[in-house]
Structure 1
Amino acid sequence: MPDPTDLTVDPHRVLTGIGVCAGTASAPIVLVSPAPGVDEDEPPCTDPAADGQRVRDAMKAVADDLTARAEATDGTTRQILETTAQLATDRAIAKAVDKQLKKGSGITRAVHDATATYAEMLAQLGGYMAERVTDLMDIRDRVICELRGVPAPGVPRLEQPTIVVARDLAPAETATLDPELVAGIVTEQGGPTSHTAILAAQLGIPAVVRVNGALELTADDRLAIDGGAGRVIVSPTDDEVAELAERARRREAALADSHGSGRTADGHAVPLLANIGTADDARRAATQDVEGSGLFRTEFLFLDRDQAPTLEEQTETYTTVLEAFGERKVVVRTLDAGADKPLVFADQGEDENPALGVRGLRLSRAREDLLDTQLEALAAAHRATGGDLHVMAPMVATVEEARWFAEKVRATGLPHVGIMIEVPAAAINARHLLAEVDFASIGTNDLSQYTYAADRMQGELADLLSPWQPALLAMVQAACIGGAETDSAIGVCGEAGGDPLVALVLVGLGVSTLSMAPGKVTAVRAALARHDLATCQEMARRAVAAPTAEAARQAVIDLAHPEVLDLL
């Protein structure tokens, strides 16, 4: 092994990961302080009741701090911080700590071991709940720091533009980062749908996650990162820094004339829409250059609550969202919860395989009252605003499910009913399902994991979950053929739609609308404007015919306008 003190050793190397927010940066790094961990010198517990109260007091202090941070923000950032604050006072965690204390564990050891057990349970649930593991570990570390009377771990005070390097970033850390001082983010863990990725995209900070070797970096290292390509250059040369700076300049120039409606170079319209999760998200997205919302994830109204939101509460939220977008299209996805996003008030019992269990529309059929209330609220909001409202169901797999949902929606007088295509069965049988509804939207995230039997939260399976996988593109193609046969619009609202290069392929396959994080719209619009529909169709043909994901991407790059590569 080379001696790290030997100055003749060239530190220059390139690390790779998953790019989750495009952009380039070059700067010195700052390492996120590790948590202090368990106090190895603490005595065993002799008074479980007293120590249990100390833990609850510490959890409340952490929750209060996170709530205060949330109140200073808005939109998705506020929602994530509020949800994490609720996790800090979770009674199940406190009870798990009590069990450890009664066994005689020291107080910080009890918190550590109890959260480890709880984290394992969340990881096994998969989906949204698996995403909460990072949040839970952050809560654990903050509670232990509170108990030990030491500062909470996190990003130190920054004095100059810096690239933040960490094992992972908790939402409380990411949400408070200053884009003026954080030039980039590099993490060893995380994934494309993690809170780090979501917040980095919202803040516009170039970010690369799942970077093997990130924790081997030192405070003396300087990095250059390419958030689109997922490349991290350690000790970059002057030429590499200049190349990235030039690429950034070209990207800015390519985006300068990107505004208005989405369309190809020959005028083929492709409406570009925003994915949102809260009313605050809607208000923020509606001020941007988007043509509406292609996915309103209503489950944020339901998660981490003891009781379902009331008819009045839901009506107010949906009305606010429709009013924000005015005459622009809003596509609302009904409650997508269940086994992988368990609800206290809709517990269907233990599920041996949550990802394949009672979730999405299956839960709505088991708890019809939840859907009835939601549709009633949507209908009331539609009557109040006259907005262009479209309602779709998640996790639809059969004609019977599509028909049942369509009858429900139409009975309320809502004008447009659709389904999500997230499982291979729905893609393959799209023409029959679409005969029952008006439109469909493809959720590429879930469609990827079900096509490849790969949990989308497992970073080591990221290659299987690439939007360039030919089998995934073939699934999208099958759905679009079904849409053409039934004259039904097919949209995409998964992460793939926000990739400028993938977007070209999706349009070539027959996708009619693309919905994404609002910050990604400008780049996708610029990419579409540089290609005619025939070129997009040829890109699609070559990508589907390719033997591997890498070959599919390269085949499209070979046909792409050179300026598009600067958008990635």
Structure 2
Amino acid sequence: MSERVLHGIGVSPGRAYGPVVPLATGSVAEPGTEPAAEPDAEVARLAPAIDRVVAELERRAEAASGSAAEVLSMTAMMAGDPTLLKHATERVRGAGRGAERAIWEAAEGFAESLKASGGYFAERAADLYDVRNRVVAELRGVPQPGIPTLTEPAVLTAHDLAPADTATLDASKVLALVTAEGGPTSHTAILARSLGIPAVVACAGITEVAAGERLLVDGETGEARTGVAAEDVPNTTQLSTVEFSGALVGTVSLAANVGEPTGARTAGEVGARNVGLLRTEFLFEGRQTAPTEDEQAAAYDEVLSVFPDGRVVIRTLDVGADKPLAFVPLDPSPNPALGVRGLRIALADPELLDVQLAAIARVAAGYSGELWTMAPMVATPEEARWFAERARGHGLRNVGVMIEVPAAALHAERILAEVDFVSIGTNDLAQYTFAADRQSAGVAALNDPWQPALLSLISTVGAAGRTTGKPVGVCGEAAADPLLAAVLVGLGVTSLSMTPRALPAVGAKLSELDEPACARIAAAALAAGTAEGARTAARGA
């Protein structure tokens, strides 16, 4: 068989080779609109089918941990929402629909409302479609859509994956993941990186590759090759622990992104010594009241205990109208991504921030390592000054802010005059730079972290760091790409924080380079006119 190369977007580094196992599309055939012969019987079928879906999702949630468990639990709650059953029942009674068509139309109505809200709510539409498909499958007496049980390691291919499916990927059996849709910041990409599974998304033609056919996947270049003989396959061994040595040690630090104490332990297991981003939303979500200072301090202590002599950067609460909290009243926003969120919440309710800063200061006093604190969604030097003064008023040192909007990047030098460090959130910076919702598949290409305009903004921030002599970090998923990590270092970034599973590959790549080499690679990428051109130029530099 002749070799064939399929091109997509590499979103999780690493190479893998193995037989293809195609995942049947998560969508099910749309039910017809034939009138129900016995409406009462159709209504009676709905609740048991929904209950079975809820039970299966809850079972999978109990077997998972961390963010995967959260995704599954949220999907189970969505499936069990009585409003869904109520609206489906009304469609049977009022429009004479069969059970399958009734649940289909009820879910479609809710999904359209979610998509119209944008941001976080639009993302939930994918979960709702997954619930719909599972309930319809139950009503038809066929298996719920999902990832098949793999008896041998294989390359999983699919049109796309539902969040609930991606969350339960078995990293010991899935050699690589290749999908026809998705983008660099999709749930599929983020969860694949967290599991250390090589992944390629937006790969045209992948669903045409037959089951059992051998596929060579490169999660860095975005290539998937068929027709490659086993003897011609390059080394696909994956590193399991952080390997970082060479000329850049002391110039660049590697760190892990952590979302809760469980994630901290995972990071420690792969050899991470630092945390470049500790998200604190896990303490606030799913509650009716804000966590107390004692509750927060206990959780921070649990994370710090994993890194007794390292550096841990805690990000203060990052929520908004797109991630609502019961105890933070916010007016509805037609565009939550551009509304009151991040530090803007604290500006409106300083007490919420003060309790968090007090808890951080308490654990910092007894920590043998370095504890840094940063605020999200800072747009101006004035906002940076306000946060820094408040944090320092609690006795905190090493105070910084996130650079997530173009205004902050363009005035990075002025912002660094107010704080001790900055950290670039490349996911949001890309979204705001290109006015492209990072959860929208239609604009996924614009959220590619290799976009030259995004690299130019990062270069501006890196130059500000060099001028002021202050650290510049990156804690977006861009840092998890080994080649892009080298570009970031060449642009002046001094700290790279990423999903823990990506640390070994990034460390190995940087061990091969020095500062002049990184600068050369960065210059080549900056000179390109397109994201793909930047990738190609960086590889050849």
TM-score by length of 1: 0.85
C-alpha deviations, 1:424-474, integer Å up to 9, x for none?
110111111122211110011111122222222233433322222222111
CA spacing shift, 1:402–1:56, aligned 2, 3 Å: farther
Select 1:464's aligned residue among 446, 465, 468. Answer: 446
CA spacing shift, 1:62–1:411, aligned 2, 3 Å: farther
CA RMSD of aligned residues (A): 3.0
Q: Which residue number in structure 1 is paired with residue 270 of structure 2?
A: 288
Q: Which residue number in structure 1 is paired with residue 234 of structure 2?
A: 246
Equivalent AA in structure 2 for residue 371 of structure 1:
L
Whether 2:90 is the aligned partner of 1:108: answer no
Equivalent AA in structure 2 for residue 510 of structure 1:
G
Q: Which residue number in structure 2 is paired with residue 77 of structure 1?
A: 68
Q: Which residue number in structure 2 is paired with residue 331 of structure 1?
A: 313
Q: Which residue number in structure 2 is paired with residue 405 of structure 1?
A: 387
Higher mean C-alpha deviation, range 390-399 or range 113-122: 113-122
Q: In 1, distance between residues paired with 2:459 and 2:425?
A: 13
CA spacing shift, 1:543–1:307, aligned 2, 3 Å: same
Whether 2:456 is the aligned partner of 1:474: answer yes
Q: Is the 8 A contact 2:25 2:159 kept in 1?
A: no
Q: Is the 8 A contact 1:45 1:107 kept in 2?
A: no
Select 2:538's aligned residue among 556, 563, 567. Answer: 556
Q: In 2, distance between residues paired with 1:172 and 1:322?
A: 30
Give, in angstroms, the shift of residue 187 of structure 1: 1.8
Q: Which residue number in structure 1 is paired with residue 6 of structure 2?
A: 15
Equivalent AA in structure 1 for residue 234 of structure 2:
E
Give, in angstroms, the shift of residue 384 of structure 1: 5.4
Q: In 2, distance between residues paired with 1:265 and 1:325?
A: 24
Percent identity over paired residues: 47
Higher mean C-alpha deviation, range 192-201 or range 83-92: 83-92
Q: Is the 8 A contact 2:264 2:306 kept in 1?
A: yes
Select 1:371's aligned residue among 338, 344, 353. Answer: 353
Structure 2 residues without counterparts, runs of 5 or longer? none
Give, in angstroms, the shift of residue 55 of structure 1: 4.9
CA spacing shift, 1:277–1:529, aligned 2, 3 Å: same
CA spacing shift, 1:349–1:31, aligned 2, 3 Å: same
C-alpha deviations, 1:470-517, integer Å up to 9, x for none?
221111111122223333211000111111111112112211100011
Whether 2:399 is the aligned partner of 1:417: answer yes
Map 1:421-436; keep pairs closer than 5 Å: 421-436=403-418
Q: Which residue number in structure 1 is paired with residue 516 of structure 2?
A: 534
Q: Which residue number in structure 2 is paired with residue 185 of structure 1?
A: 177
Q: In 2, distance between residues paired with 1:44 and 1:302?
A: 49
Secondary structure (helix, strand or coil) at the match of 2:306 reads helix
Q: Is the 8 A contact 1:37 1:144 kept in 2?
A: no
Give, in angstroms, the shift of residue 78 of structure 1: 2.6
Q: Is the 8 A contact 1:31 1:218 kept in 2?
A: no
Equivalent AA in structure 2 for residue 246 of structure 1:
P
Q: In 2, distance between residues paired with 1:101 and 1:345?
A: 38
Higher mean C-alpha deviation, range 518-527 or range 361-370: 361-370
CA spacing shift, 1:348–1:404, aligned 2, 3 Å: same
Secondary structure (helix, strand or coil) at the match of 2:413 reads helix
CA spacing shift, 1:513–1:211, aligned 2, 3 Å: same
Q: In 2, distance between residues paired with 1:468 and 1:19?
A: 11
Q: Which residue number in structure 2 is paired with residue 168 of structure 1?
A: 160
Secondary structure (helix, strand or coil) at the match of 1:26 reads strand
Q: In 2, distance between residues paired with 1:37 and 1:311?
A: 51
Whether 2:181 is the aligned partner of 1:199: answer no
Q: Is the 8 A contact 2:482 2:505 kept in 1?
A: yes
Secondary structure (helix, strand or coil) at the match of 2:436 reads coil
Structure 1 segments (4+ residues) deviating >6 Å: none
Equivalent AA in structure 1 for residue 419 of structure 2:
V
Q: In 2, distance between residues paired with 1:545 and 1:33?
A: 40
Give, in angstroms, the shift of residue 141 of structure 1: 1.9
Q: In 2, distance between residues paired with 1:228 and 1:168?
A: 19
Give, in angstroms, the shift of residue 274 of structure 1: 0.4
CA spacing shift, 1:484–1:216, aligned 2, 3 Å: same
TM-score by length of 2: 0.89
Higher mean C-alpha deviation, range 541-550 or range 214-223: 214-223
Q: Is the 8 A contact 1:125 1:355 kept in 2?
A: no
